[in-house]
Amino acid sequence: MEWFEALILGLIQGLTEYLPVSSSGHLAIGSALFGIEGEENLTFTIVVHVATVLSTLVILWKEIDWIFKGLFKFRMNDETRYVLNILVSMIPIGIVGVFFKDKVEAIFGSGLLVVGCSLLLTALLLAFSYYYKPRQKESIGLKDAFVIGLAQACAVLPGLSRSGSTIATGLLLGCDKARLAQFSFLMVIPPILGEALLDGVKMMKGEAIAGDIPTLSLVIGFLAAFVSGCLACKWMISIVKRGKLIYFAIYCAIAGILTLIL
């Protein structure tokens, strides 16, 4: 992987991680165009995903600080309930990660047919959430968190947007838009960091191959994903508040059709 390829793919990851257009799908398309496959692609994917998690920590630091300050009061309060919601939302993706990780990785290397179909599914989900008007809720409950977590687990498919799936599902449940955007971005932090840690341990034990990627390419990809992720995270929160997801539905539909045709 050349440094300019890492730069482009890093920018793609950072922007599309938060925008509801599927970062994994766009990375798969970009990797196919550059001829990057197998373990090399997997290693780079892990690096740029960690970069976007760090961008979430930077942009949403006030919310994270609020959660931890309340959590360490060691009593049931709004902050503790928020943490419980995040833990409940992690159950479905945890099950997928423990029992189906190898199958998911195999899907990532199965070509762009899955990506194209999943992009079309993302478009349908975003469009439906835009036109459906459920009764609004003031807060996200445990049941809501679990259902949103199911959407996140389904979004392991390349092309099915994680942010698009979780935010659209929350909108269909009637969750508040501003709270939903923050919750959607915070709930992904533990699973991604956990996956990166497990893959890192495997690489150190020699159970997985790190891939033949120059260090410079990994660093450039990481920085590109981090900077673009910070910008996209702030932008997406504003977009969700305004309820303008229909434009991303149109984009995903076009991208899905072009992927299937070309």
Q: Which amino acid, one-letter code, is at 57?
A: L
249 pLDDT above the threshold of 50: yes
Tell me the per-residue pLDDT of 186-242, one tens digit each, with 9 for 90 and over.
Answer: 888 887 777 667 666 666 665 544 456 778 888 898 999 899 988 888 888 788 777
Tell me the per-residue pLDDT of 154-172, one tens digit each, with 9 for 90 and over.
Answer: 888 877 888 888 989 999 9
C-alpha dihedral, 49 to 54 to 59 to 64, nearest 10°: 110
Q: Which amino acid, one-letter code, is at 133?
A: K
Of all residues in the chain, the percent with pLDDT exceeding 70 is 84
Distance of CA 41 to the CA centre of its chain: 17
What does residue 141 show for φ and ψ, rounded to 5 degrees? -90, 180
d(CA 54, CA 26): 20
Listed by start position, the domains of the chain span 3-261
Tell me the per-residue pLDDT of 40-79, one tens digit each, with 9 for 90 and over.
Answer: 556 777 788 788 888 888 888 888 888 888 877 777 888 8
131-135, 145-149, 246-250: range with lowest mean pLDDT: 131-135
162 with 125: CB under 8 angstroms?
A: no
Tell me the per-residue pLDDT of 81-117, one tens digit each, with 9 for 90 and over.
Answer: 888 999 999 999 888 877 776 666 666 556 678 888 8
d(CA 75, CA 36): 50
126 pLDDT above the threshold of 80: yes
Distances (CA, A) of 99 to 92, 93, 95, 104, 126: 11, 10, 6, 10, 29
